[in-house]
Copies of this chain bind each other. A is one copy, B any other.
Amino acid sequence: MLGTDRTIPKDERIMAAAERVFSHKGYSQATLDEIIKIADTGKGTVYKYYQNKENLFYSLVLRKNKPFLEKLQAVAKMDCSFERKLRDYFMELVSFMHENAVIWQVLLFEMSGSASGWKLVRKKGCENQLEVKVTWGEPPTKAEVETVKRYYEVVHSEMAILQNILEGAVNAGVLKPLIDLHAWTGSIFFGIIMSVFHNSNIYDLETAEEMATVITDRFMYGASISRK
């Protein structure tokens, strides 16, 4: 029981319990009852610190994301070869996603918003602006948009760093010019994530490292034996 340790503040105990439950059950299947049971606390306490279930989840995501982002930024700022930089980024990504697989799966699913009949799409040309695109049903409320936007920004914050690294490499003449850099970034980013999600045998540092190396190499030089 996580909650048994009375020295840890309630809000942290709740957060820890939430992490465990969301990690195991995903969002919809997770229940506050289970969380408070693990945190050994009352139901009202959760609502004191976190407004509601969604906010608890979001808080968890933010909390996880913060140190992760810092690591990624540190990588981006490193003074070293592009290839090294890329490899390190991938390493961090692989480690993190392995540890937080379920939660980030939920995050990505919610972020896509597709299950609600609408999406957030970057405005063409103006990539910082997001616009709501309704595909069916009722348009979302402002609050709903805000929620998805927050999720979107979490993921985007992680991707943006990769995009920067790639951009730098293109400008430095190390990479072929990439049209639609953003799409490329997404493809790599999501590709790695999904691989991690579905390869549970990567769970130690060594394999993570190995995986990062392979991915980097493949990204850089491709799989073909011949040259184009």
Contact = CB atoms under 8 A, between A and B. Distances in A.
Contact of A186 (B28, B124, B199): B199
Interface in A80-109: 101-102, 105, 108-109
Interface string A30-67: 00000000000000000000000000000000000000
Interface in A118-170: 119, 121-122, 124, 133, 135-137
A120 to B, nearest CB: 9
Nearest to A215: B187
Interface stretch (A10-18, A69-77, A188-196): A188-196
B195 A186 contact: yes
Contact of A227 (B119, B190, B227): B227
A197 B189 CA distance: 12
17 contacts: A24-B116, A105-B112, A105-B115, A108-B194, A111-B198, A112-B197, A121-B200, A183-B199, A184-B218, A186-B194, A187-B192, A187-B215, A188-B191, A190-B193, A191-B192, A191-B195, A217-B228
Given A105-B114, A112-B197, A219-B223, 5 more contacts: A121-B200, A174-B226, A187-B195, A190-B193, A193-B194
Interface of A: 23-26, 28-29, 101-102, 105, 108-109, 111-112, 114-117, 119, 121-122, 124, 133, 135-137, 173-176, 178, 183-184, 186-188, 190-195, 197-201, 211, 215, 217-228
